[in-house]
Amino acid sequence: MRFLPTAEQRDFTRSLDALLTASDTPSAVRAWSAGDHGPGRTLWARLADAGVFALAAPETQDGMGRLPVELALAHRELGRHAVPGPLVETAAATALLSHLADAGDPAPAKRLLPGLLTGETVVTLGVPEGGGYVLDAEGADVVLVVTGADGAAPGSGPELRLAPGHGPVHPSLDPARRLARPDPGGELLAAGPPLAGAVGCAVRWARLAAAAQAVGVAEELLRRTVAYVKQRTQFGVPIGSFQAVKHRLADTLLAVEFARPLVYGAALTLAPGDLAAAKAAAGEAAYTAARAALQLHGAIGYTEELDLSLWLRKARPLRDAWGTPARCRAEVLAAYV
């Protein structure tokens, strides 16, 4: 056993970190939140060059091979740098299209995957459990919608459609997440039992990507907060020397350190129970980190101008997207043998 990243995996992560550090992601997020997708698209193109969008597709479909561990490592970096956009949805759409092709329906993958892998096409995806909303529909070139996957009338399977448009754009708790309802109808891309299997795979990859991002968000919130409490003084000493502050951060580290291996473990097994466990724990870790970060920054933490806010506001929606902790916990038990 070697439950540690390999040298290649560490190199991949380091180069992605370097790329993102050089990209001024905070201003790309702020622009994205304001509806200006330009800087985000530029970043998106760089990520595509680094191979980030090709990690959920096999080589036979021009992907890098299905590489869930690398996907988890990459999404952790995306979370650490607060990269905006439908990143989880892209991973999910890639998994959906490529599994649909494996199941004997290659047409949608042939049509959409190439642009998606190179980053030329920004895609987003909505599934019924998203409550009818789709992330970043207005910033995406292609809006994929799955309907009827659960709770459908007996005999009717799910359908995958290309949404013809979308309704008004709603800001989320995280201004960088912009939600809209897709317009009904649109071109039917796939239907029936093979699609049901592919949607299941999509949800699993989405869980993995979202969990990894949540870990990255938690790590960055903790890092920024630790730096802050070392430098902010009150009563003549750094606030980080107070035990109440230390203990809160120790508990935050505890949450992060025990969520991270769950994410990598889930990447290795891709078992539904492991993925649900990883998503639940990572989501809770991110939220714990956000609460601690806000509290320990005091009033400055409650401001929009501090970059901390870019991660702070991500934590809660990320925790709940693609499976709330409650839903994931239920799935952990359902999968327990």
318 backbone dihedrals φ, ψ, rounded to 5°: -65, -35
Among 274, 288, 297, 323, binds other proteins (CB under 8 A): 274
The residues in 41-70 that bind other proteins, with binding defined as CB under 8 A, are 69
Strand partners, 268: none
* Residues 98 and 57: beta-carbon distance below 8 Å: yes
Instruction: Choose between 15 and 241: whose C-beta lies nearer to other proteins.
Output: 241
Which residue of 119, 158, 240, 272 would you call a contact of other proteins, by CB under 8 A?
240
Among 91, 281, 286, 308, binds other proteins (CB under 8 A): 281
Q: Which stretch binds other proteins (CB under 8 A): 15-23, 35-43, 143-151, 222-230?
A: 222-230
- Please state the closest distance from residue 185 (CB atom) to other proteins, in A: 38
Q: What is the dihedral of CA 304, 310, 312, 316, to 10 degrees?
A: 120
List the beta bridge partners of residue 134.
180
Inter-residue contact 174 to 192 (CB < 8 Å): no
Helical packing angle, 87-102 and 68-80, nearest 10° = 160
Decide if residue 259 touches other proteins (CB under 8 A): yes
Distance CA 72, CA 259 (A): 13
Distances (CA, A) of 72 to 61, 68, 127, 281, 310: 20, 6, 21, 15, 21
Tokens of 122: 């920004």
Read off the DSSP letter of residue 305: S
**Measured distance CA(104)–CA(292) in Å, rounded:** 49
Q: Candidates 49-57, 121-129, 147-155, 240-248 — which segment interacts with other proteins by CB under 8 A?
A: 240-248
Q: Cα(171)–Cα(176) distance, rounded to whole angstroms?
A: 8
Site string for other proteins, 69-108 (x = CB under 8 A): x---------------------------------------
Shortest distance, CB of residue 265 to other proteins, whole angstroms? 4
Closest CB to other proteins among 113 and 289?
289
From 268, 302, 303, 304, residue interacting with other proteins (rule: CB under 8 A) = 268
The residues binding other proteins (CB under 8 A) are 1-6, 9, 69, 222, 226, 229-230, 237-238, 240-243, 245-247, 249-251, 253-254, 257-259, 261-262, 264-265, 267-269, 273-274, 277, 280-281, 326, 329-330, 332-333, 336
